[in-house]
Amino acid sequence: MNIKKLSLTIVIILIAGIGLISFNNDQKNFNIAKNLDIYYTLFNELNTFYVDEINPNKLVTSSINQMLNSLDPYTNYISEEDIEDFRFMTTGEYAGIGALIGKQNGKIVISESYEGYPAQLNGIKAGDVLLEVAGKSTENMSTEDVSSLLKGPARKPVKVKLQRYGQKKPFELDITREKISIDAVPYYGMLDETTGYIRLSSFTQNCSNEVKKALVELKSQHNAKSLVLDLRSNPGGLLVEAVKIMNLFISQGEDIVSTKGKVKQWDKTYTSNTQPLDTSIQIAVLVNRNSASASEIIAGAMQDLDRGLVIGNKTFGKGLVQTTRDLSYNAKLKVTTAKYYIPSGRCIQVLDYSHRNEDGSVGSIPDSLITEYTTKNGRLVYDGGGVAPDVPVKQERLSTLSFELARRFLVFDFATQFANNHESIPDPEEFKLTDDIYTGFIAFVKEQGFEYESQSQNVIKELIKTAKREKYFDSASNEFKALEEKLTPNLETNLRKFKPELSELLEDEIVSRYYYQKGAIRAAIDDDKVIKKAVEILNQHNVYAGHFAPGTVIKSN
């Protein structure tokens, strides 16, 4: 083919390509306009002819939420009414009285008063029942409704009516709302003479400054030589804060995380761009299956850069990035715009929302698509399943008895009773549940008429039903009945059997009534097996260093 013919062919192909792109774009725009018109006319007909009155706002919001739910759980519509809640999630700040509330047996109950804020300073205690807020009865209200009444302009009072355990008459308080800022670092301190500890509960705005402040104090005032950074059950938050925290521990110019999406403006690589605080301190990052998003960026980057050890359980597996877009009428759209990739190049996203099953469910990334990567020192790591710990520590599950006692608020209520009858207790680290206190708890549980069924008991009941249906029961009825009797829980026996784990739950709950969140964390540290493992490894430098040797395999199973 000569040059002229070749050039002509190329021009024709380019014109055809441009025409095809234009046609595809036109077709896509037409389909969007067509379906929006169908939606509008359908809604208009529904609003006009449906047999009962409908709530247009509720119906439209429901349709928007259902549409977004078909994409992924993190793409959300935020109405103007929900903006304050969204702002609290990203900043940790709001104006209110500073209390956590919950619903218990149909009543709105104070779960926790935040230390140093209006609720606690005005004497409101965990266990107090909220009867009225701003003159409105809380009966039949949701926790969201009550929370909205408690929040409002700073330095403006709100009247609350409460009922306290052990008191016959309710009492009223006028509480002045203040700006509430929840600490992203609820506690930091020393675990032993050389090991510092920082608990980071969320990645809200400026949390990196809180971590930096804690680290500086642990190093300068306590001479910390190693650090335990606790990210367990941290759901994540602002990606930029995770980058800033990593920047404290790695050399300037290191890649920390990159994002890639359909729109090129979201493709970005985040590097450490300021002078670090400490590039040599030994670090153990604690994670569990509820550590997600920004927590996984920290854990994954520490692992990929061979900067720190990851200890605990495999993380959640959320490798998606959300961006907030403004909508009309002060609403917003939080939309997934990219996936993030940690330094080795791997994405830790575990669920594939883009390829749903026929029933609408979402599957995990199959093993056949899991790819092998290497850390900075040549260790093997894998994508597609969260961040697997360098040092796994088995997560112990609560017994059914302990779970049910906590779920039905008997642990909470006993702590309320105890705090009402005891003016003070020793420091969190010193307080231990005595045999007398535990005996009192057993009596309390019995007084409440508590009963429960074990999972084993439920299974044997189903087995008996199946045996009867298949006509095998009569021939082995004695054996079935004997097994059922053995598996029927004996409350007194099991309360003694599971005393160690119940004592831990009770200690933490009781301590929180006197020393609040910081105290509860301090009390829990002594019995924490994951923290103990981290301290053990950090105190053995050769063991710590050995984990970073080339050839060490870290695999998500």
Angle at 97 between CA 93 and CA 99, to 5 degrees: 85
* pLDDT recorded at residue 185: 97
Q: If pLDDT is split at 50, 70 and 90, which confidence band does 9 have?
A: very low
Q: What angle do CA 220, 224, 230 make, to 5 degrees?
A: 115
Cα separations in angstroms, 50 against 45, 59, 63:
8, 13, 17
- What pLDDT, on the 0 to 100 scale, is given for residue 66? 93
CA 441 to chain centre: 30
Structure confidence at residue 404 (pLDDT): 95
- The pLDDT value recorded for residue 544 is 87
Encoding tokens for residue 52? 């009962």
Q: How far is CA 280 from CA 248, 283, 549, in A?
A: 11, 9, 17
Predicted TM-score (pTM) of the model is 0.86
Question: Which amino acid is located at 307 in the chain?
Answer: R
- H helices of 70-141, in order, are 83-91, 118-121
Express as a percent the part of the chain with pLDDT over 90. 71
Cβ contacts of 334 within 8 Å, gap of 6 or more: 74, 75, 76, 78, 86, 322, 323, 324, 325
Name 416's Cβ contacts closer than 8 Å, sequence gap at least 6: 125, 126, 127, 165, 513
Task: Check pLDDT > 80 for residue 4.
Answer: no
pLDDT at residue 199 tops 90: yes
d(CA 91, CA 421): 38
Lowest mean pLDDT among 93-102, 104-113, 324-333, 357-366: 357-366
Alpha carbon distance 468, 470 (integer Å) = 5
Instruction: Find all residues with CB under 8 Å of 264, minimum gap 6, and list them.
Output: none
Average pLDDT of the residues in 491-517: 95
- Mean pLDDT over the full length of the chain: 90
Place 164 in a pLDDT band, splitting at 50, 70 and 90: very high
Helix (H) or strand (E) holding 271: strand 268-271
Q: What are phi and psi of 120, to 5 degrees?
A: -70, -40
Which amino acid, residue 26? D
Q: Pick the more confident residue, 451 or 442.
A: 442
Q: How far is CA 487 from CA 445, 464, 467, 484, in A?
A: 21, 13, 17, 5
State the pLDDT at residue 23.
52
The torsion angles phi and psi of 527, rounded to 5 degrees, stand at -100, 10
Confidence of residue 545 (pLDDT cuts 50, 70, 90): confident
Helix (H) or strand (E) holding 406: helix 400-407
The reported pLDDT for the residue numbered 354 is: 78
| DSSP state for residue 376 in the 8-state scheme | T
pLDDT tens profile 298-328: 999 999 999 999 999 999 999 999 999 999 9
Q: Is the pLDDT of residue 239 over 70?
A: yes
Helical ranges in 425-540 per DSSP H = 435-447, 455-469, 477-487, 491-497, 499-525, 529-538
What amino acid is encoded at 505 in this protein? L
| 12 confidence band (pLDDT: 50, 70, 90) | very low
* 356 Cβ contact list (under 8 Å, min separation 6): 362
How many C-beta atoms lie closer than 10 Å to residue 470's C-beta?
A: 8
Q: Are 313 and 390 in contact (CB under 8 A)?
A: no
Say what the pLDDT of residue 463 is.
83
pLDDT of residue 246: 98
pLDDT of residue 485: 76
Structure tokens at 425: 């207790």
Question: Is the pLDDT assigned to residue 161 strictly greater than 70?
Answer: yes
The answer to whether 553 and 392 are in contact (CB under 8 A) is no
Q: What is the dihedral of CA 343, 344, 350, 351, to 10 degrees?
A: 80
Assigned token pair, 497: 């059997």
Cβ 415 vs Cβ 409: under 8 Å = no
Residues in contact with 281: Cβ distance below 8 Å, sequence separation at least 6, in sequence order: 219, 224, 225, 226, 227, 249
Contact present, 285 and 302 (Cβ < 8 Å) = yes
Rounded to an integer, what distance in angstroms lies between the CA atom of residue 494 and that of residue 104?
A: 25
Structure tokens at 456: 């084993």
Query: Residue 486, Cβ neighbours under 10 Å: how many?
Result: 10
Range 281-299 burial, b when 16+ CB lie within 10 A, else e = bbbbbbbbeebbbbbbbbb
Could you tell me whether strands 332-341 and 282-287 are parallel, antiparallel, or unpaired per DSSP bridges? unpaired
Contacts of 330 (CB under 8 A, 6+ apart): 80, 83
Identify the pLDDT of residue 207. 97
pLDDT at position 22 is 56
Q: Which two tokens stand for residue 512?
A: 């929180």
Pairing mode of beta strands 107-113, 99-104: antiparallel
How much is the pLDDT for 19?
52
Q: Give the active site residues.
A: 293, 304, 318
CA 545 to chain centroid: 31
Angstrom distance (rounded) from CA 166 to CA 420: 7
For residues 98 and 116, what is the distance between their CA atoms, to the nearest angstrom?
9
Q: What is the pLDDT of residue 24?
A: 62
Residue 491 has pLDDT above 80, yes or no: yes
Report, in angstroms and rounded to the nearest whole number, the Rg of the chain calculated over CA atoms.
Answer: 29
Whose structure tokens read 């830790």? 348
Mean pLDDT of 458-485: 82
**Percentage above 70 pLDDT, the chain:** 94
At 242-273, the pLDDT tens digits run: 999 999 999 999 999 999 998 888 899 999 99
Mean of pLDDT values over 152-174: 95
**Tokens standing for residue 436:** 């007398």
CA 398 to chain centre: 19
Least confidently predicted of 60-74, 224-238, 346-360, 491-505:
346-360
Determine the pLDDT at residue 11: 42
Q: What's the confidence (pLDDT) of residue 67?
A: 93
Low-confidence winner among 17-31, 436-450, 520-534 (lowest mean pLDDT): 17-31
Would you place residue 358 in the very low, low, confident or very high pLDDT band (cuts 50, 70, 90)? low
Residue 2 has pLDDT above 90, yes or no: no
